[in-house]
Amino acid sequence: MSPQLPKTKCGYVAIVGRPNVGKSTLLNHLVGQKISITSRKPQTTQHRMLGILTEDDLQVVFVDTPGIHLDEPRAINRYMNRAASSSLGDVDLVIFIVDTTVWNDDDALVLKKIQQVKAPVVLWVNKVDKIKDKSTLLPHLDWLSKQFNFTAMYPGSALKDINIEQLQKQIAETMPQCEFIYPEDSITDRSMRFLAAEAIREKLIRQLGNELPYSLIVEIEKFESDEKNIMHIAAVIYVERKGQKHIVIGKSGQRLKQVGQDAREDLEKLFEQKIFLQLWVKVKDSWADDEKALRSLGFGEN
């Protein structure tokens, strides 16, 4: 007599694509909570992280990944590509995201990687709300359909919730019968310290625009609550050069002050308690080129 399958469904879904196509935004909307930081800047996501959705008898573990890209001039680029590529193994579904009618060499690289995947692949054509000439979409969808045997294709918008419900149904139907992997109240595999560091980094990226690439990283040095239930967080922002330190701090310290204020507001919503946040900026020479420095800053832990 064969063993009875569990009544619950559970599985892993990898979200992949080139930089800046909206992977983290899609993850946040599918989970229904902000897990992964977002910005308009390419390569905002530097780490692989999980977003966990549990509803009734279904648990979906979404794997958000850094954008896969051809150019690997630095150690951090190589790390991000390894993190994204490794996430394609042992998943139950892959969501491949492309940006409207744009297709470039990085998209072709992602396609080449998913061609080696055994799991079904769904194509999500993101940001269709931004297409001015809608007549260009149908021919592009037809061309995309010929590039790979996709299980399904959805033109949509993660930000505007266009076709999100249809994608959710597809995901639910694909998940295998399996016991839940994580407790029902879990939303991510990452620690509160990690989420705090990422929240600060998001505000830095949004404040700095194109002034700095990904030449900064945030490390939490203090993370504790006092007897009044106030969370005390002290964080160091590492940059690679002295000139970058002045850019982050800003004139009379105003930029760093604004980053701290914006991050504190987000952290208070996330942790649902009062936050006392302190920020410092330090120079760590060429950390993005140094594999050892990357490991010391938490890269490669997940």
Q: How far apart, in whole angstroms, are the C-alpha atoms of residue 135 and residue 133? A: 5
**Contact (Cβ atoms closer than 8 angstroms) between residue 164 and residue 25:** no
Give the integer Cα–Cα distance in Å for 283 and 216: 9
Q: Both 29 and 88 in a single domain?
A: yes
Helix 242-249 to helix 192-208 angle, to the nearest 10 degrees?
Answer: 90
Task: Name the average pLDDT for the chain.
Answer: 83
Domain assignment present for 137: yes
Q: What percent of the chain has pLDDT over 90?
A: 42
> pLDDT for 46-67, tens place per residue?
566 788 999 999 999 998 776 5
Per-residue pLDDT tens over the stretch 112-166: 888 888 899 999 999 999 998 888 999 999 999 999 999 999 999 988 989 999 9
- Greatest alpha-carbon pair distance for the chain in Å reads 75
Q: Residue 271: which CATH number?
A: 3.30.300.20
- Overall pTM surpassing 0.75 (yes/no): yes
Residues 169 and 22 grouped into a single domain:
yes
CA dihedral 50, 55, 60, 65 (to 10 degrees): -30
In a domain, 230, yes or no: yes
* Secondary structure (3-state) at 129: helix
Residues 156 and 208 in one domain: no
Q: Is residue 124 part of a domain?
A: yes
Same domain, residue pair 200 and 62: no
What pLDDT is recorded for position 88?
65
Alpha helices in the chain (DSSP H): 23-31, 75-86, 105-114, 137-145, 164-174, 192-208, 242-249, 254-271, 291-296
Q: Are residues 201 and 118 in the same domain?
A: no
Neighbour tally for 302: CB within 10 Å: 12
Specify the CATH number for the domain of residue 106.
3.40.50.300
Q: Which domain holds residue 44?
A: 9-174
Residue 28 and residue 118 in one domain: yes
3-state helix, strand, coil in the chain (%, to 5): 35, 25, 40
Contact 39, 205 (CB under 8 A): yes
pLDDT at 301 over 70: no
Are 151 and 230 in a shared domain?
no
In this prediction, residues 79-93 reach a mean pLDDT of: 62
The answer to whether 63 touches 26, Cβ cutoff 8 Å, is: no
Q: Is residue 249 assigned to a domain?
A: yes
> Would 184 be classed as within a structural domain?
no
Contact 98, 125 (CB under 8 A): yes
The verdict on 128 and 229 lying in the same domain is: no
Q: Is residue 186 part of a domain?
A: no
pLDDT-above-70 percentage for the chain: 78
232/110 same-domain check: no
- Residue at 268 is within a domain: yes
Which of 108, 142, 174 is a domain's end point? 174
Question: Do residues 62 and 205 share a domain?
Answer: no
How many structural domains comprise the chain? 2
* Number of neighbours of residue 32 by Cβ within 10 angstroms: 11
- CA gap 196, 186 in Å, rounded: 17
Section 22-40 average pLDDT:
80
Tell me whether residue 123 is in a domain: yes
Interhelix angle 254-271/192-208, rounded to 10 degrees, is 140
Same domain (yes/no): 51, 157: yes
Read off the tokens for 272. Answer: 């649902």
245 & 168 share domain? no
* Token pair in block for residue 302: 């997940």
